[in-house]
Chains A and B, each alone.
Chain A
Amino acid sequence: MKLNKYFERSLWVFHLNTGSCNGCDIEIVAGLTPRYDLERFGIKLVGSPKHADVLLVTGPVTSKMADRVKRVYAQTPDPKAVIVVGTCGISGGVFYNSYNLSGSIDKVIPVDVYVPGCPPRPEAIINGVLQAWIKLEKLRKTLKDNSPAK
């Protein structure tokens, strides 16, 4: 795999907590800080989904948050990719039989990359971001090729 092909521009990430225990969330920040240092590739967390290329979603979706997740997804501009970090967002994990969950994240919004683990290690999160990046560049290319201006 030629990595440089996918480095067209910096990747901005919006992190959305849908009721996570915070374990995945601190591992995401650990991925950005000096030991793992994702920021050297221009990957950074942004404060608004409107600025983001990628949604990084953690946690099982609690009923109160389900609507908010959909709204944040709708606010993210296309082309976008969604990464689910942590087992509880993939299958409910340890919270599988709760009465207050709207199910896994892929039942609420479309998901591109799954990063399992409770919590996943920063290396796994970095790998997930890379997969999303590759997918995003492909999406971007398709959009460019099919644009009516051409």
Chain B
Amino acid sequence: MSNKTYSIPIGPVHPSLKEPMTFHFEIYGERIEKVHLAPGDNHRGIEFMGRQRNPIQIIYLAERICGICSASHPFAFCQAVENAMGIEVPEKAQYIRAIIAELERIHSHILWAGVAAHELGFDSVLFLSWRAREEVLDLLEYLTGNRINYGIFMIGGVRRDITSEQITRIKKTLDYYKEIYGKLEDIFLNDPTIALRTKKVGILSKEEAIQLSAVGPTARASGLNKDVRQDQPYAAYADLEVQAITPEVYSGKVNGDVYDRIVVRLLEIVQSIQIIEQCLANLPEGEIVAEEKLVKLLNLIKKAQGEGIGRHEAPRGEVIHYVKLNQSELPEVWKARAPTYNNLMPWIPMLIGQQIADIPIVLASIDPCIACMDRVTILDRKSGQKNILTKDDLHKLSVEKTRRMAQ
């Protein structure tokens, strides 16, 4: 049997990815037998660089770990430093943090929905959802000054206030999303073509999700009731009612397939809108940062000693930052663990037994931002024959399968 399998390397050059990454697939006919992952192409040594900068500078470095999660990493990092130093964050700042984090979740999930549609050959939906996403980017730019890499987080609070006139604008955008949500849900959950391509594809069972410590929507779609905002509330989430969303809410049962991951992410958009509305209704008055003067803050950091942990439920799952301060301007240790790191291993049970044409949608289903692949080389070991499959060919295979199934 083994001499009849093909070996397919994918990557590391694939456009519009978070990380260039290399995969090796062992294929028998059309079926995937084995998957090997080889990450590391995107290693920039961020934690090493962090040890040469002071914590205030690290906030901006943490933002650039990932351009899509640019609120999640500084959120977790600031919490870690506050935890280590024992800083109390003003209540209003905690609410503003939650609002920004939830706005980011809306933008990230809509982005993902578009990418997933693109992988199925549904490009009109990609354009529709990315058009819808521009509204939340406009709002984030209005609130923070930037479309991406917001630069709003600061140790001990936030850097910009949300004023009452800004609240009207936030509500306007939320109304827009409530209006178009029905449309998005109709396209993704009721369309027979999407259901054909995503149901019973890339299944991750609950046991596997626990064993491989999946996080975020990937874990919740497999029926794990797991959400940091629910299990260990932080910032404003302690005052709000956040329930982890599992596909049971929608369909009454858990399959753990790609379709369930779409369900979870779509429902989380609604949840985020509700959280922001709750935040706006209860927005307290007062300070937005514990220590306004940066020099004074830096002096406090220089004197501080201790360890701290910050956890946040990013759009892709739980992100953890660990910081150790030792009476110095520079942190002694800084460790960041991003959710995609946990979700890499669940790829293997998801992919085994699937077809080559399903690779793009299964890879995309954990939302690693792997949107497309540059090239695939099919090497027939027996004859030594070499065929090059570009990302276009792979995409074409996927589109053809959609057409075939729709007939």
Contact = CB atoms under 8 A, between A and B. Distances in A.
Contacts of B395: 47
B48 interface: yes
Contacts of B34: none
Nearest to B388: A48
The range of chain A's interface size is: 35 or more
A98 interface: yes
Contact of B369 (A19, A22, A33, A34): A22
B181 interface: no
**Chain B contact residues: over half helix, strand or loop, or mixed?**
loop
Contact of B43 (A46, A100, A119): A100
Given A29-B130, A64-B41, A94 B64 contact: yes
A80 interface: no
Interface in B370-400: 372, 374-375, 390-393, 395
Interface stretch (A9-17, A108-116, A139-147): A9-17
Given A45-B15, A97-B49, A34 B64 contact: no
Interface in A89-110: 94-95, 97-101
A12 to B, nearest CB: 11
A17 B372 CA distance: 12
Contact of B42 (A15, A35, A45, A62): A62
B134 interface: yes
A47 B374 contact: yes
Contact of A62 (B13, B43, B127, B374): B43
A19 B391 contact: no
Given A17-B17, A18-B20, A94 B61 contact: yes
Q: Which 7 A-B pairs have the closest CB atoms?
A: A23-B67, A47-B392, A47-B391, A33-B130, A15-B15, A22-B67, A34-B131
Interface of B: 12-18, 20, 40-46, 48-49, 52, 60-61, 64-68, 70, 111, 114, 126-127, 130-131, 134, 137, 147-149, 369, 372, 374-375, 390-393, 395
